[in-house]
Amino acid sequence: MNKMVFTILDHEDGMELKNWFRLKGISTRSVTRLKYYGSILLNGKNVTVREKIATGDVIELHFADDEKSATPEALPLSILYEDSSVLVLDKPPQMPTHPSKKLQLGTLANAFAYYIESKGKPHSFRPINRLDRGTSGLVVAALDPLSAGKLSGRVDKRYICVCRGEIVESGTIDAPIALEKDSKIKRCVSPDGQHAVTHFRRLFTNGLISVAEVWLETGRTHQIRVHFSNMGNALVGDTLYGEADDIIDRQALHCISVSFVHPITNEIISVRGELPPDIIHLLEENNVTEFYK
């Protein structure tokens, strides 16, 4: 069982549990799972959501264990933040986030499962954000269903990308994205696509390449890659939307930082990583050092 414990505060005194769940941002779906597959304890006793709570009461939520989502595998795992509810992992390039039918090992989920199992905990992998295999950087993973539900869609992510050509100092790309005709993978800008908005700020340009900080309003598949390619500035090394590069063997895209409201404490958690060696090498080969050193 996944267990979470809360102590009732003064401003929560006298509330019914169903209203307390709503105050805490706990979804109806999560409450239903607790009722049928777990338990809700108030001061050690099973209660219904109609029970009233008082200052100092202790609420325990017990979620049923999920099925194991990946085979544990002893792989290097870079952890930039950890507590009882959330992990922030730094995914290297060329590592898939999830296993697939063709690839059951060598993924971030496998590494996560090994690490969590070594601590004696259930290891269902609940990434709040997902990165393409060739995209490196920070991935937020919730350690229980409640935290996953509260974090979903609420993580602010900042990316660093290196693209070809010169881009303007800042801008917003508002262009719908659809699956390209006759392709199962490639996307394109299309009036029939899903709403997609990308914001960027230029950090450096020498006319041949530009470095940008990027953040998203929407989370469409390949969104940054598609939007930059569509405006004529494909990411360096992106063979799907641009062309291969002699220096880097994948798209030069890295999730550099994440921030979110902690699902339990309501604190603002901000985590920033570092650029990976292959992007640093790419920049150095293009005589770019000032913005990250």
Tens digits of residue pLDDT in 110-163? 999 999 989 887 668 889 999 999 999 999 999 888 888 889 889 999 999 999
Distance CA(246)–CA(255), nearest Å, equals 22
The alpha carbons of the chain give a radius of gyration, in whole angstroms, of: 22
If you average pLDDT over residues 221-230, what whole number do you get? 97
The CATH number of 156-255 is 3.30.2350.10
Q: Looking at residue 14, what is its pLDDT?
A: 93
Residue 182 annotated among the catalytic residues of the structure: no
- State yes or no: pLDDT of 68 exceeds 70: no
Q: Looking at residue 244, what is its pLDDT?
A: 96
User: pLDDT band at residue 26, thresholds of 50, 70 and 90?
Assistant: confident
Torsion angle defined by CA atoms of residues 218, 292, 254 and 207, in that order, rounded to the nearest 10 degrees: 80
If you average pLDDT over residues 50-59, what whole number do you get? 93
Q: Looking at residue 101, what is its pLDDT?
A: 79
User: pLDDT band at residue 207, thresholds of 50, 70 and 90?
Assistant: very high
Could you tell me what percent of the chain has a pLDDT over 90? Answer: 69
User: pLDDT band at residue 37, thresholds of 50, 70 and 90?
Assistant: low
Report which of residues 16 and 33 the model is more confident about: 16
Q: Looking at residue 110, what is its pLDDT?
A: 95
2-63 and 68-153 have identical folds:
no
Indicate the class that CATH gives domain 68-153: alpha beta
Count other C-beta atoms under 10 Å from residue 95's C-beta.
18
Report which of residues 122 and 19 the model is more confident about: 19
Q: pLDDT for 152-199, tens place per residue?
A: 889 999 999 999 999 999 999 999 999 998 898 999 999 999 999 999
CATH classification number, 2-63, choose in 3.30.390.50, 3.10.290.10, 3.40.50.2300, 2.40.110.10: 3.10.290.10
Distance CA(35)–CA(60), nearest Å, equals 13
User: pLDDT band at residue 62, thresholds of 50, 70 and 90?
Assistant: confident
Q: Looking at residue 64, what is its pLDDT?
A: 67
Domain residue limits, the chain: 2-63, 68-153, 156-255
- Catalytic annotation, pick one of 132, 144, 245, 278: 132
